[in-house]
Amino acid sequence: MMKFPPSLDDAVKARAFRATNGELGIKLTDTAIFLAACRIDGVEVLGWELWVIDHECGERVAGPCHAPGGWCGEIPMRKGTIAVLGDDGEADATEQQLADFDVNVEVEAIWLPYLRVNFALAG
């Protein structure tokens, strides 16, 4: 499975979280650059998932608990719930889904610095 498009800017890769399986967690501010590289390289985007990185999260954790190298798809929401956030879709649909999701309104503020987007790519 492809982890990132070949022409992805090295600076974006340097800012990204790299999971132990090689997948990248892209900073929310870099998602447009990532998707543009996918389009340029003809890499098919299958969807996305939001991660909390370098911290434990979930129902058993009251707040960020440092866990270097860890990542989790259970996102603490402002309404007091835990959610797995992501969707299926090609690059344009994924870009629109991310634009429509107001992370600052939906996710507990204390978790925002630790959020990254992981993209599922074909190939």
User: Quick one: which of 93, 16, 4 has its CA closest to 40?
Assistant: 4
User: Using one digit for the tens of pLDDT, what is the confidence trace for 108-122?
Assistant: 899 999 999 999 999
Task: Judge whether 71 lies within some domain.
Answer: no
pLDDT tens-place string over residues 68-109 = 898 989 898 988 888 999 999 999 999 999 999 999 999 989
Burial of 15 (0-12, 13-18, 19+ CB in 10 A): middle
Establish if 46 belongs to a structural domain. Answer: yes
**Residue 4: how many CB atoms within 10 A of its CB?**
21
pTM for this prediction: 0.91
* Residue 2, in any domain of the structure: no
74 in any annotated domain: no
Q: Is there a domain that residue 25 lies in? A: yes
In a domain, 73, yes or no: no
Hunting for tokens 């900073």 — which residue is that? 27
Of 25, 4, 14, the C-alpha closest to 73 is: 25
Residue 30 maps to a domain: yes
User: Within a domain: residue 90?
Assistant: yes
Range of the domain at 19: 10-50+85-121
**Total of domains in the chain:** 1
